Amino acid sequence: MKKMAIILAAGKGTRMKSDLPKVLHEVNGKPMVQHLIDKLERIGMDRIVVVVGHGAGQVKEKVRGNVEFVSQVEQLGTGHAVMQTSSLLEKEEGLTLVLTGDTPLIEEDTITRLMDYHMEKEAKGTVLTTNHFNPTGYGRILKGEDDHVIGIVEEKDANTEQKRIQEVNTGIFCFDNRALFESLPLLDNQNVQGEYYLTDIVSLFLLKSYEFESFLLFDNEQMLGVNSRVQLAEAERVLRKRINEKHMNNGVTMIDPLNTYIGEDVVIGANTIIYPNVTLNQITVIGENVVIESGSVITNSIIGNNSIIKQSVIMDSHLGNDVQVGPFAHIRPQTVIHNGAKVGNFVELKKTVLGEGSKANHLSYLGDSIIGEGVNIGCGTITVNYDGKHKHQTIIEDEAFVGCNANLIAPVKIGKGAVIAAGSTITKDVPKNSLGVARSRQEIKKGYKSRTTQS
């Protein structure tokens, strides 16, 4: 059976007090709507259609994945939003999910179980419901004696008795696609809001003797809709807790999970220890037996086994096994640090390869460089890679020794086993096993102070 999904993402979200479309506000480093798209792709939906409106251009630019877009120019309700997908989906056969773009906490397993239940019951429509002790603001589920759904009434249209109902609409539905699109043109807007409610489709189905089912979700935390900054923070808290518990259950130690920030797509090996106030973002992979100390931020990078990261920032880079970084190092994009290498305090690497066993222990900048194995980079060394218009490369071959406070003016090559004297500014290639010295000869002027202090 073909499986399709419609994500409603056209609203402005006025309570967010922001020019950014509501569905682009991030939860744990990812836009709310992207959480849904990623989950739908992982469970194998055949088509995903996103209904956009406010800030449509921003949404289209930001969202990634195999999705199609339709526009809802006027926001006239959820039913009206689904109508906008008719040109794409009305001729399809199969199952169609409808979800709201501001529910990033819904889990893949819940979506899968909803679809399975819908198919098992051979229903034309199924609504995902949950129970709320305080259901204010939610649409109430009306049921007949046979426990089938006979209606969904919105809060503003509900009477006193209906408002006492605690089973509520989550805004997530599963439909037989043909039945859905045959009924959509029959919706009207005769309600307090003057909108076309998707929930009114229930009564239209019943007129055709189509049974409408409900699937009860006991974990109503998954259904938190994000309509304000307060709810955004709450969604962040819930998702972060869920992610951290998954990693801890897989053998990762977190000293303080409440203050550890890990993205949904991060992979962490067993026996790794993460200290408080660590942030791991995007597609980051951490190996086994790694120690990441407080204050470190690692984004879209790979860290090999048995490595130690101390209070450092690493972005778009690849570190091997047994690597030590920090404290206070900055590893910038396109850097590769091979096994056993060490990058010490206040060292910055950019677009640089640091070979196996090489060391840059203190206060250095290494940019656009290829550094071989067993190289020593002295304190204060700088690869001078930028001439004001272009970047140039420095090559330092295996077992070279670069003394403290050296400037290597790129493009330049330091040969295998070469030694660069401390304080040198190197502008020409240094052959292998040679000594490169480029500094002024020291002069001693005896009695200088006494002469300058005479009146």
Quickly list DSSP for 266-308: -EE-TT-EE-TTEEEESS-EE-TT-EE-TT-EEES-EE-TT-E
- Average pLDDT of the chain is 94
Number of Cβ within a 10 Å radius of residue 89: 20
Number of Cβ within a 10 Å radius of residue 71: 12
Residues 58 and 188 occupy one common structural domain? yes
Does the residue 279 lie in any domain?
yes
The end-to-end CA distance of the chain, in Å, is 101
Active-site position among 132, 148, 362, 392: 362
Query: pLDDT tens digit string along 157-202?
Result: 899 999 999 999 999 999 999 999 999 999 998 887 888 999 999 9
pLDDT score recorded for residue 75? 87
CATH number of the domain encompassing residue 84: 3.90.550.10
Residues 83 and 176 occupy one common structural domain? yes
Place of tokens 């859905």: 180
Residues 388 and 429 occupy one common structural domain? yes
In terms of DSSP H, where are the helices of 171-319?
177-183, 201-207, 229-249
338 is annotated as an active-site residue: no
Residues 84 and 200 occupy one common structural domain? yes
User: Do 368 and 383 contact (CB within 8 A), yes or no?
Assistant: yes
Residues 197 and 142 occupy one common structural domain? yes
Q: Compute the average pLDDT of residues 97-105.
A: 95
Residues 8 and 153 occupy one common structural domain? yes
Binning the chain into helix, strand and coil, the percentages to the nearest 5 are 25, 30, 45
**pTM for this one?**
0.87
Instruction: Give every strand in the sheet of 308-309, ordered side by side.
Output: 253-254, 273-274, 291-292, 308-309, 324-325, 342-345, 359-362, 376-377, 401-402, 419-420, 435-436
Q: Compute the average pLDDT of residues 123-146.
A: 91
Residue 454 has pLDDT above 70, yes or no: no
Does the residue 244 lie in any domain?
no
Residues 286 and 195 occupy one common structural domain? no
Residues 214 and 261 occupy one common structural domain? no
Which of 207, 223, 239 delimits the end of a domain?
Answer: 223
- Domain holding 213, by residue range, is 3-223
| Cα–Cα nearest to 294, from 249, 254, 341, 345 | 254
Query: pLDDT tens digit string along 45-61?
Result: 999 999 999 999 999 99
Place of tokens 């307060």: 230
Query: pLDDT tens digit string along 385-434?
Result: 999 999 999 999 999 999 999 999 999 999 999 999 999 999 999 999 99
Does the residue 382 lie in any domain?
yes
CA distances to 319, 369, 443 from 357, in Å: 12, 16, 38
Q: Which two tokens stand for residue 180?
A: 């859905």
pLDDT score recorded for residue 135? 85
Question: Structural domain tally of the chain?
Answer: 2
pLDDT score recorded for residue 133? 86
CATH number of the domain encompassing residue 299: 2.160.10.10
User: Do 179 and 201 contact (CB within 8 A), yes or no?
Assistant: no
Does the residue 285 lie in any domain?
yes
Confidence label for 80 from pLDDT (cuts 50, 70 and 90): very high
Q: What percent of the chain has pLDDT over 90?
A: 86
Does the residue 349 lie in any domain?
yes
Does the residue 45 lie in any domain?
yes
Torsion of CA 442, 446, 448, 454, to 10 degrees: 180
Query: pLDDT tens digit string along 227-280?
Result: 899 999 999 999 999 999 999 999 999 999 999 999 999 999 999 999 999 999
